[in-house]
Amino acid sequence: MLENILEYQKKDAMLVKIERELENSESKRVVNEMVEQVKQAQNKLVALERSASQIIAEYEKLKQRFEHESKKLEDVKKVDFSKKSENELRESTTVINRQIASMLTLNKEITKLSNRIVSALNDFEKTKQAGVLAKKKYSESIEKYNKFASNKNNQITQIKADLSNLAKKIDSKVLERYNKMRDDHKFPIFVPLVNNSCGGCAMEVPSARLDLLKKEKMLECESCHRMIYISDKPKTK
Ligand SMILES: [Zn+2]
């Protein structure tokens, strides 16, 4: 029983190694990074679109104010000042000056808004380009990764076939447990007893449990939950 499990684990270690190679490959890293960058660019474009509609709304408001002020100036032009008294002229001057001041403020606001529009357009263009570049890099990397992965796939298929043959000799409950821990990235799952300690996490096995282990040949580590085994046979390694 134990021998079968250990043989299974030894074979599986080859699969784990290949899986890690695939997971840690440089092209895979770039693929993940580019997926992240494309996502970020998309989020930023959505935010920019939102701020663009805000700018448009502000622009509409300014335009209305500008039209309103222009009309007032037009009205001033129609006034015949030759027939006005000195007092009236003074009053008109104050009104016109206020008018001009208001137009100047409006002008400043329009300049500010157009700067914002230019910078938003630049941002939009830059973000779009970054997105396009990330997508291009993504395609290149995924192609590289797929080539790398397909080289490994033959090996994986062979190992998986071997594993499923070996699995037939192992208790299904034990295998289920094994696979669960494997999914949790605890590998190896079966570890030898080393100096009365767990061969996985080095936690010392209490003497009472040591007796149990000697009897059962296998025992779950209370610390890392790996299966500690003990072999009757003298060490061959
Ligand atoms: Zn342990």
> Would you call the peptide bond into 206 cis, given omega within 30 degrees of 0 as the criterion?
no
Q: Is the pLDDT of residue 198 over 50?
A: yes
Domain that includes residue 200, residue range: 189-229
Give the model confidence (pLDDT) of 206-233 as tens digits.
999 999 999 988 999 999 999 999 976 5
Give the model confidence (pLDDT) of 7-57 as tens digits.
999 999 999 999 999 988 998 899 999 999 999 999 999 999 999 999 999
How far away, in angstroms, is 195 Cα from ligand 1 center? 13
How far away, in angstroms, is 218 Cα from ligand 1 center? 13
34: in domain: yes
Residues 110 and 29 in one domain: yes
How far away, in angstroms, is 197 Cα from ligand 1 center? 8
Query: Residues 6 or more apart from 8 whose CB is under 8 A from it?
Result: 163, 166, 167, 170, 175, 178
Residues 9 and 123 in one domain: yes
Residues 57 and 27 in one domain: yes
Residues 216 and 119 in one domain: no
How far away, in angstroms, is 202 Cα from ligand 1 center? 6
236: in domain: no
Angle at alpha carbon of residue 145, lines to 144 and 149, rounded to 5°: 125
* Predicted local distance difference test score (pLDDT) of residue 232: 62
173: in domain: no
235: in domain: no
Mean pLDDT of 56-76: 89
Residues 28 and 129 in one domain: yes
178: in domain: no
Q: Locate 174 and state its tokens.
A: 């034990």
* Predicted local distance difference test score (pLDDT) of residue 236: 47
How far away, in angstroms, is 209 Cα from ligand 1 center? 13
Q: Is the pLDDT of residue 184 over 80?
A: yes
Model's pTM, two decimal places? 0.57
Beta strand ranges found along 165-232 (DSSP E): 190-194, 197-198, 218-220, 227-229
* Predicted local distance difference test score (pLDDT) of residue 99: 87
Q: Is the pLDDT of residue 235 over 60?
A: no
Mean pLDDT of 173-179: 92
How far away, in angstroms, is 232 Cα from ligand 1 center? 20
Q: What is the count of structural domains for the chain? A: 2
Please, which residues have CB less than 5 A from ligand 1, an ion?
198, 200-201, 203, 221, 223-224
Residues 142 and 86 in one domain: yes
174: in domain: no
CATH of the domain at 133: 1.10.287.1490
Residue pointed to by tokens 């030898």: 192
Residues 146 and 204 in one domain: no
Mean pLDDT of 132-142: 94
How far away, in angstroms, is 196 Cα from ligand 1 center? 11
Give the model confidence (pLDDT) of 88-128 as tens digits.
889 888 988 888 898 899 999 999 999 999 999 999 999 99
Residues 85 and 201 in one domain: no
- pLDDT-derived band of residue 237, with 50, 70 and 90 as boundaries? very low
